[in-house]
Amino acid sequence: MMQPDFSSTLSYFPVTLILLFIAGVKPFYLLCTIVLGSLAAGIPLLETFLDMRLKSLESETFLTSLTVSLKSGWTGIYIIAAVLFLIVGGWCLLWKLRVKISIIYPVILCGTILIGCAASIPVEKSLKDYQRKRLVVFLNPKVDPRGAGYNIIQSKIAIGSGRFAGKGFKRGTQTQLGFLPEQHTDFIFSVIGEEGGWIMAQLTLFLYFLFIWRALAIAKEARDRYGSLVAVGFAAMFTFYAVINIGMVMGIMPVTGIPLLFLSYGGSSIFSSLCTVGILCSIHMRRHIYY
């Protein structure tokens, strides 16, 4: 958790939330955790987006005034006021409808919001310039088409040029001519989309779905709770990695440097993936063994 690789650290949170949900933690507490993390990370990112939006607005309009107001330190206050208004309004509506709900839940949620907004201050200070730049490029790759936005633009061109059946093995222009960087690691799915087209892309997604479904089936058949949680954790990890990486190369997720497991080049990635398969096979093999 203390390593400088932010993308690898980020992968622990959704896996942990899914494991807590499977283990029986109340959804309300998971919701509070999600709200806390979203506010802590979302407010600094919102300020970065507003800064980019302010630079793109030339004339003095209401939107410009609102952006300046939000950018001048009022972002957290506006978010707190809006969310608290929704919580209080929702609680009053439930009370009016005579729905029994303990007052402790709105209090806990309000406290979570305040803590999340307070935690956004150190998070904002710890964000590095390249992380802010990646966010801005994710929102608008044309801001820096020859720099940080180059990878996303070339990836979209590669996937789009593949069309239905692809250009053929080693016949892709973006990949073979060197326009697409990191095509053997983070952007390997772009190569599949260009050379294999929609057919190979869908086949890749189907194979990932089959693997994740099989991991969940192993979790259901496990002989103890521990084995079940381990299998669910592996399924959640593979799902998160696949969604983030494929979304990244298609431009619907920020560039994070997360590999596509089993496909991206890298010894540590394939080694950990094969270890995962071995553990899943061990859980499945011992499903009927009792001591």
Q: What residue spans define the domains of the chain?
A: 6-127, 141-285
In terms of pLDDT, which residue wins out, 160 or 90?
160
Q: What is the pLDDT of residue 234?
A: 92
Q: What is the pLDDT of residue 101?
A: 61
Q: Above 60 in pLDDT, residue 230?
A: yes
Chain-centroid distance of CA 259 in Å reads 13
Average pLDDT, rounded, for the chain = 76
Give yes or no for a contact between 43 and 76, defined as CB atoms under 8 angstroms apart. Answer: yes
How many angstroms separate the Cα of 17 from the Cα of each of 2, 24, 28, 44?
Answer: 19, 11, 12, 23
Residues 8-62: pLDDT tens digits? 666 777 888 888 888 788 887 787 788 777 777 777 666 666 665 555 544 444 3
**Percentage of the chain with pLDDT > 90?**
15
User: Which of 29, 31, 32, 34 minimizes the C-alpha distance to 13?
Assistant: 34
Between CA 50 and CA 243 the distance in angstroms is 27
Averaged pLDDT, 240-267: 85
How many angstroms separate the Cα of 282 from the Cα of each of 216, 233, 286?
Answer: 14, 15, 6
Residue 161 binned pLDDT confidence (cut-offs 50, 70, 90): confident
Environment class of residue 113 by beta-carbon count within 10 Å: exposed (0-12), middle (13-18) or buried (19+)?
A: buried
Q: What is the pLDDT of residue 65?
A: 42
Instruction: Give the least confident one: 75-89, 106-120, 142-156.
Output: 75-89
